[in-house]
Structure 1
């Protein structure tokens, strides 16, 4: 900082300069990772297979529930006759 020197100025120049108390934190980044395309493909295929299995289990559960309701209804009608 530049302060002009005036002989008639009674204020002395500052004795120290202001330093920031908290320096900016150092940003640390993760090391670079090499992702294999085969691993990505395997992950996607695994996700598709697991989703298909989950859907198959859900459809099976619904069909078993419907069959149980139909059989129950048929057995009630059979016992009433």
Structure 2
């Protein structure tokens, strides 16, 4: 007569056990980088200066475009009056 090995368990015992292969290699941590406050201040200052220069160029371009439109309008009116 066949008697189960584990009478309380409804599932049969595993046929083989899992043995892990070599453990995962240890990852090396990246070297820590220290950033001085002077470097941070320099980068922020440079960003502010470049942003201000970009804004100045944009304002200048807009004012030149407006001046060109006004001059063109004035020259048109002068040619119409003749």
Aligned CA distance change for structure 1 residues 68 and 27 (closer, same or farther; 3 Å): same
Runs of 5+ consecutive residues of structure 1 not aligned to the other structure: 1-8, 10-15
Structure 1 runs of 4+ off > 2 angstroms? Answer: 16-29
User: Any idea what the Cα deviations from partners look like across 1:6-59, whole Å, max 9, x if unmatched?
Assistant: xxx6xxxxxx85222474453332201111100000000000000000000000
RCO comparison, higher one (Cα < 8 Å, 6+) = 1
TM-score of the two chains, using structure 1 as the length reference: 0.71
After superposition, where does 1:3-42 map in structure 2 within 5 Å?
A: 18-21=18-21, 23-24=23-24, 26-42=26-42
Query: Which residue is 1:72 aligned to?
Result: 72
